[in-house]
Structure 1
């Protein structure tokens, strides 16, 4: 029997209790089903990967587009799905809460809210407002009694504000405001990861690993509970596509097409 939404959410919550698990990021229904086929325990959407799949740049999709995408992912797989919900698609805490309420109705098991503004002059929300936005998301989830896992994200390292003390201070504040899991995408060194894990414990920490050089086992040793890859799987897929298409366009040859995945195996997987 397929898992109900409540069962997916309970499963996702339990995954955060101990150990370390990978939360890979599909960009459409097909990639989600492929990841389920490979045995992953949960999935997470990717704002960038989804945007590229519909011909848009990252952070240029609408709330309705994202919610439709999340609903499609949740319906397509028998796994918990965590939503990359960007900045909540609003500035004001009350509108963040309203949008989180809409997202929860798609069937997601988790959701993240980040503190980046999209404004190059002031790339992060003022600390107090950022905390209120997390608190608003928490209130919306609690009001729905959904049990959705809330992740608080500090984007400092992605916007050039790499003061680890500042990032940790924000993560601790987000935890106090109700975030169940903490996430600082862009931290890369073992020392940075260890510092974040220690600072927010016993709350679980998500780490972004989208490059070679780190293993699941090494992350687990540092106390990381959750690993995601962001848009990296989507970029890998686009890498193969662009290499093959560029060869055809520029050289008139088809060598790269020989590196494609077996059509027979794809049909077998999706049958």
Structure 2
């Protein structure tokens, strides 16, 4: 992926693929070795139910990651995620407490996926001085890019939304074919020429 584009590439690194702060720091160093320009580290565990790390441990994990990023000698954007609101394991007040601590620990960017609405997103933005990332999902899908930017958000993620829209289209087409024996919906398909032109344009830009 890094070789395929001249643009900086950031990775979604879940919980850093480790629990201990030192191991998360090693993940950052390995990410840099393959050429990434940044990555996200979550504060919830990658096990059933996605329980949150205890507050102090969550902060220490980000501090270790930030220290590792600073030691690289080149720009590397560390995004500290407070995922408990999305996963239903803590409330917005706790998320704000965590991102404020993550900011003090050295994070470059903070991210609270899917706050309940626009007002809650404003609270997140107002709570910290560093840039905030927002996910265009849930209630925030009703907002446009300019509207999200006006709130103060500096980066917008799509997460898995494009893939999910694609999966929904596949399911709808196949249901029509298998259930109704109808191919009528296939008329909405993109032409091969259009897709080839997009691929060629992307290759030329690379």
TM-score (norm. length: structure 2): 0.89
Q: Give the drift of 1:121.
A: 6.4
Aligned residues: 198
CA RMSD of aligned residues (A): 1.7
1:252 aligned partner: 181
Larger radius of gyration: 2
Q: Note closer, same or farther for the CA distance 1:147–1:159 as it changes in structure 2 (3 Å cut).
A: same
Structure 1 CA distance for aligned equivalents of residues 199 and 126 of structure 2: 42
2:137 aligned partner: 210
State whether structure 2 residue 63 is matched by structure 1 residue 135: yes
2:133–2:156 contact (8 Å) kept in structure 1: yes
Structure 2 CA distance for aligned equivalents of residues 140 and 249 of structure 1: 53
Of residues 169, 191, 195, the one that matches 1:262 is: 191
1:222 aligned partner: 151
SS at match of 2:71: helix
Deviations 1:150-185 (A, max 9, x none): 011001211214522211110011111110001000
Of residues 176, 187, 193, the one that matches 2:104 is: 176
Q: Give the drift of 1:122.
A: 7.0
Deviations 1:51-99 (A, max 9, x none): xxxxxxxxxxxxxxxxxxxxxx222122222211111111111111112
Q: Note closer, same or farther for the CA distance 1:122–1:210 as it changes in structure 2 (3 Å cut).
A: closer
Q: Which runs of 5+ in 1 are unaligned?
A: 1-72
Structure 2 CA distance for aligned equivalents of residues 169 and 180 of structure 1: 16
Stretches (4+) displaced over 4 A: 119-122
State whether structure 2 residue 35 is matched by structure 1 residue 103: no
Q: Give the drift of 1:126.
A: 0.3
Structure 2 CA distance for aligned equivalents of residues 142 and 151 of structure 1: 13
Which residues of 2 match residues 44-59 of structure 1 at below 5 A?
Answer: none
Structure 1 CA distance for aligned equivalents of residues 108 and 67 of structure 2: 13
Structure 2 CA distance for aligned equivalents of residues 98 and 216 of structure 1: 35
2:11 aligned partner: 83
Deviations 1:7-29 (A, max 9, x none): xxxxxxxxxxxxxxxxxxxxxxx
1:131–1:173 contact (8 Å) kept in structure 2: yes
> Highest relative contact order (Cα 8 Å, sep 6+), 1 or 2?
1
Q: Give the drift of 1:134.
A: 0.7
Of residues 170, 173, 197, the one that matches 1:241 is: 170
2:44 aligned partner: 116
Structure 2 CA distance for aligned equivalents of residues 194 and 220 of structure 1: 11
Q: Note closer, same or farther for the CA distance 1:265–1:121 as it changes in structure 2 (3 Å cut).
A: closer
Of residues 190, 193, 196, the one that matches 2:118 is: 190
Q: Which runs of 5+ in 2 are unaligned?
A: 201-206
1:101–1:141 contact (8 Å) kept in structure 2: yes
1:104–1:146 contact (8 Å) kept in structure 2: no
Structure 2 CA distance for aligned equivalents of residues 260 and 133 of structure 1: 46
